[in-house]
Amino acid sequence: MCSTPKPKQKIKGKTSTNVVSILSQMNAEKRKQFAERANEASERREIKKQKAILEQIQVDQNKAHAPLKKKTMTSKPWHYWLISASFSELFQTLFHKNHAMK
């Protein structure tokens, strides 16, 4: 087991068995101001946590919807027609202008 290191210098000053909190040394008005500031800080932390949670939910939802957009492609570009077309369709399209592409 490791022991905690001992200070090399002795502490100069008064030692007191009397433990006093910070708030007990303040007057009523300062305690009220301190409590208000502490409450505001707590509210800011809660709002920040909620924003982070909402952003994470939104990112997760976007990831879930991304594959659906890729799968639901409405129409293929015209060059896909060239791959699947037969020689007669290519010939008619190139030399007969009245025949439209599918």
> What residues does each domain of the chain span?
25-72
CA distances from 57 to 40, 52, 61, 64 (A): 26, 9, 6, 11
Global pTM value? 0.42
Q: What is the pLDDT along the chain (102 residues), one digit of tens a residue?
A: 567 777 677 766 666 666 567 777 788 899 899 999 999 999 999 999 999 999 999 988 888 776 655 555 556 676 776 777 777 787 787 777 654 554
